[in-house]
Structure 1
């Protein structure tokens, strides 16, 4: 799956001249945690996040920038002063932004988001902002795929066969000890397992099989040392 399949097209943006008060209102009104900053031609200049608004003198949270610090590193101190006290987005935004192309695979984009610990990625094409990929977009795509079609085209036996095949292909299940039966889309798992982890994995495997509406656990947990069955589902 590529990013372009699930990204938000024409996302809400602001310009560098937008006041932080207006940007903050947009974030609150539209339930956004970040806003791409673009110029009049649509080119990405940076991004402003709710985190950029945490250290402010209005909240008594801005760091002190003393004269001695300015004496030692005047340019750094001056930049820190503007970043924590600026009144316009262009003064406080992050200019070095991690971006992706619309043809980037979703798996690669998710890896970047995890590695950089960021909630959304601007999507650019030749410097122009064409969309944004957010965690909300990814969640929506996941939910779309978790919804099981109720068309009824798949028979119960076909569903059971799919579950049995998935169990056979696994490298963790005690394959000969598990029985599968499906009636009206409800999958019943019987037989024995040797750990609670295996029981949970079999349940999840069945739940993820197309056409399954619910799973009934009749698995018996066997103590591998004592050889005693307990904890029937």
Structure 2
């Protein structure tokens, strides 16, 4: 899956000269958490988010610049003052931002968003904004996949083979101990496991296998230190 498939096309934008009040009003009216900032040609200049508006004197939340910090780091202090007290988008927006091409794999975008702790990622063609990828886009795509009904007819033998193959490819499962059976799509897992995490992960393997309708857990917990079996979970 690539970014183009799920991104918001032609997102709502704002000009850098717009007032902060107008930008905030637009975000509220459109139920947005971020506004890309562009020039009249659509070139991406920055982005303003609801997080940029948390520290404001109007809310009594703006940080005060101490005299010693102002003396030791005047440029940084001035920049902070502008960021927290500016009245126009250009003064508050983030200019150094990440962006990505529309045909990039979705996994690349998610890695960027996770590693940099950002909630939205502008999508560009060169320097021109063409879309916006947000966590809401990702959630929408995920829900559609989770709710999609799989009507593929799969034999019980094929179900067992797929589950056993997935278990064999894992790096954590007790491969030789778990037994898998399937009847009309109802899978039964049995045999010893050595932690609750292993048990749950094995159930997840079965649940994600095509043709599985439900999973019956008959696995037995065995203490790895003593070898004593404590019965079913």
* TM-score, normalised with respect to structure 1: 0.86
165 and 59 in structure 1: CA distance in 2 versus 1, 3 angstrom threshold: same
Q: Does 1:17 pair with 2:11?
A: no
2:63 counterpart residue number: 63
Structure 1, 145-154 or 195-204: larger mean CA deviation: 145-154
Q: Does 1:86 pair with 2:101?
A: no
1:176 counterpart residue number: 176
Q: Give the Cα separation in 2 of the matches to 1:131 and 1:221.
A: 50
2:96 counterpart residue number: 96
Matched residue SS, 1:219: strand
Matched residue SS, 2:115: helix
Q: Give the Cα separation in 1 of the matches to 2:78 and 2:176.
A: 71
Matched residue SS, 2:181: strand
Aligned pairs (5 A) from 1:129-148: 129-147=129-147
Q: Give the Cα separation in 2 of the matches to 1:193 and 1:64.
A: 57
Q: Give the Cα separation in 1 of the matches to 2:102 and 2:147.
A: 26
Gaps of 5+ in 1: none
The answer (yes or no) to whether the contact 2:152–2:210 under 8 Å persists in 1 is: no
Q: Does 1:54 pair with 2:42?
A: no
Matched residue SS, 1:165: helix
11 and 186 in structure 1: CA distance in 2 versus 1, 3 angstrom threshold: farther
178 and 79 in structure 1: CA distance in 2 versus 1, 3 angstrom threshold: closer
1:202 counterpart residue number: 202
175 and 65 in structure 1: CA distance in 2 versus 1, 3 angstrom threshold: closer
Q: Cα distance, 1:25 vs. partner?
A: 2.6
Q: Give the Cα separation in 2 of the matches to 1:51 and 1:131.
A: 20
Alignment root-mean-square deviation, CA: 2.6
Q: Cα distance, 1:22 vs. partner?
A: 2.5
2:8 counterpart residue number: 8
Q: Cα distance, 1:232 vs. partner?
A: 0.8
2:164 counterpart residue number: 164
2:222 counterpart residue number: 222
66 and 148 in structure 1: CA distance in 2 versus 1, 3 angstrom threshold: closer
Q: Give the Cα separation in 2 of the matches to 1:170 and 1:38.
A: 47
The answer (yes or no) to whether the contact 1:48–1:89 under 8 Å persists in 2 is: yes
Gaps of 5+ in 2: none
Q: Cα distance, 1:72 vs. partner?
A: 7.1
Aligned residues: 233
* TM-score, normalised with respect to structure 2: 0.86
